[in-house]
A and B are shown apart, each in its own frame.
Chain A
Amino acid sequence: MKINNLFRTDCLGAISDLQKLFLQIYLKRDYEKNHYHYEKQIHQKNIAILRSMQKTSNPSFRKLHEYVLAQGYLRFRIKDFTTLEIMSRELNELLNANMEKLDAIIFSLEELYHNTLQVVSAEPLAYLMFIQALKNFNEEMVKLKNG
């Protein structure tokens, strides 16, 4: 066993790292240009999650991982990344949010979806699935928090 693995077994931290990376990709909107670079990072963060999951039997972590992966699918489901600019405020809030604020941000994203994204985006379903994945993630986090 590597020395660092003895100290760092934080599964939630690894999942949060991957989620942050996806949000950064959406905020920077340069995935198409740097996709090898980003995919390498996604791979590394995924591996960190898989490693940390080997040390826990809690099924919630696998579910959280699945919901975060689903949040990452926007990167290959949408063709026009400039549409992401519309939700940059919400994405920024998500990036810096704590658990308490997540509900409000999801609500704000839903509003944005119904009022704007649904009309201007060529792939509205992809955004809807992103919001759904966020909701699922939030629900699972609440369950985990409440034991």
Chain B
Amino acid sequence: MSMQIIRQSLIFIILLFNCSLALANDNTKDSQVNSNWRCKYCLFEESAGLTGTIDLGIYFQSDESIPYSKYTGLNEKGSSPLLNVTAKYLDLQGYYGDLILTNTFLDNTYLNINTGFQSKYNINLSFNQISQQYESIATVYSNNNNNLTLPESWDFADNTKDFNLSDSNFNNATLSTVRDIWRIAVDYQLEDFTKDKAPHFTLSYQRDLKSGVQSSGAVISGDNAFAATGSLLANQVDMVTEQINAKVNYQFWDWNLSFNYYASIFKQEFSAISWQNPFSRQVDGAEYGQMSTAPDNTLNQLTLAVHKSFSSKNHLNLHISAGDVRQDHTLLPYTINANSNELMMPLTANNSRVKTLNIYGKWLSQFSERWRLDITYKLNDKSNKTEVNYYQNFIADTELSPIHRQNSPYSYQNQSANIRLQYRPKWQGKIELGLKQTQIERTYQSRKQTNETLGWLKSHNNLSDTLSSEIKFSIANRTGSAHIPVSFIAPQENPLMRKFNIADREKILAEYALNYMPNDSLTVDLLINYGREQYQDSPIGLQKSQFSSVLLDLFWWQSEELSLFAYIDIEQYKTSQTGSQNFNEKDWKNDLKDQTSSLGIGFEYQLLIPEFQLGFDMSFMHADEVNTLSSDQLILSLQSLPDFTIDIITVKLYGKYQINDHWSLATDLLYHDYQDQQLDDITLSSTSLSDYLLFESYPLDADVFAIATQISYNF
């Protein structure tokens, strides 16, 4: 105890000493003069008023393509009108307004309006539509508010091949979601923000509505719990997240004080998904199954942030954030099987509650022109206050022994201390040295505590005026308390299993960057990364993981008329993991190699006449993954997972012709091609598995051609 006090006192005294020393030496404040210059060449009046651009045009897409629409939200074949507006208003008094409206009639509309009085207040209104598509499928189910039912003429059977499926049984659907995000925010500055004692208020409200159709697995009892059957479902999603943020920021002298209240309220329209069991092989009464959805929940969080500059060289940051997350959603019944005994639950709603505490403290001292030190402490504490109860043990409608299963409200405490020392030698370089110690304590886990020590060294060297390099090397070692399988988890976990996030691990990371800039026109970058994680004392689980990459990037800016870029990035990811099918020592090992090559090239060219500009860019990505499965024992006629490959090409060609000061004509041409081979030559359909009803799914392979032509008016 006494040693602890001595250690803490020592650190505290040293910090105080440094603080006072730095205060004494801070004599570098400016002594600027005020002036009343007039400016006859300044364009104050000429720049005031309303300016902007209106684009009116047409967008055409040659085909539907899920991979293309996954990123753009655009999956409708054919043409759509196009309207983009940008406008800016500024008056001589200080009132201003900005408007951006893009993709008005498409599925990814964006609107942003800013208005206010300079340095006094700002009102922001925005709308952002995020539309994403995942897969086109056909399903036998009809969906009515997440009650999924089979056709009336359905042939119940034990095996999918006996379902007598015909095209008329299927409903086509696209798995896709749309988020409509509305946000309004008000900023108010009570005083001139450049002066001391300047309070600043911010209030924002955001409503994020997500709707659409997503896929979900569903499992129900077959003859017994261990012969469960299942279906893939296309279920509706309708959820809303509201966020409120209120903040007061106050600057006085060298202090900055900020107080923040943040609330996030999540609500879901559907509290359950129920589905009809397509199999005749079922326990009595298991004609329908039901599963929960994410419960409504609320987060309230208060944050106090303090920053004190003791001088331009010494800074103290303190940040305390306390949150409370809770949900009290009514629990669904154990089962909706009419033949099952009606069982009482310990609670009708589990009244879950989690308290979070985040503390961050940093002391930074530029204690000389060449040396700098910062010390950081972080605490991330999550304490789950949910009541522990025993619930009947049902697995997919079958009551199992042991008859009770307890919930295990998980809590953890993550603390870290980080010290970083920076030295700037005379040769214009920089050397940094860091040490970080992390300790995590967890509840209900096979390992109660882990400790990790990380050390790193970084050196930045300006080799000449045109050449610089940076090298970083770090090594981390994680150990912890003994691995003891959690006693109440049944069936028991293999005691030889080491979960990768808590296992003993040595991690090495090396990074090298070279920047060559022979003149203002040319920049060449080379980045090399290597990382390796070696898991020790892991008889079963992840054994090692290795990452390496090389990136070469070139940018050449010849003039306003011509610029070009090119890059190539090759990365490789390897892992090796073991498992046990016989609940004993390892009996299989899987080695995975995932390689990705990305290539990008592009240019901008002003063609012949200044009024005509042409641009081109292209990206190509190729990925392949190879799995090699091996075993020392004869456990199955082992066959590795099939390789998969992905190729994505995006080509964009764009041109703009400036007709006169006000009018211009622009055209964008885009080509996107996606090809993958994920499961080699195996074709999947709804009946590919005997006891699991899949979707009829369609290949994602598709190419699409899009063109957007617009005439623009500048005002």
Q: Specify whether A and B are partners.
A: no
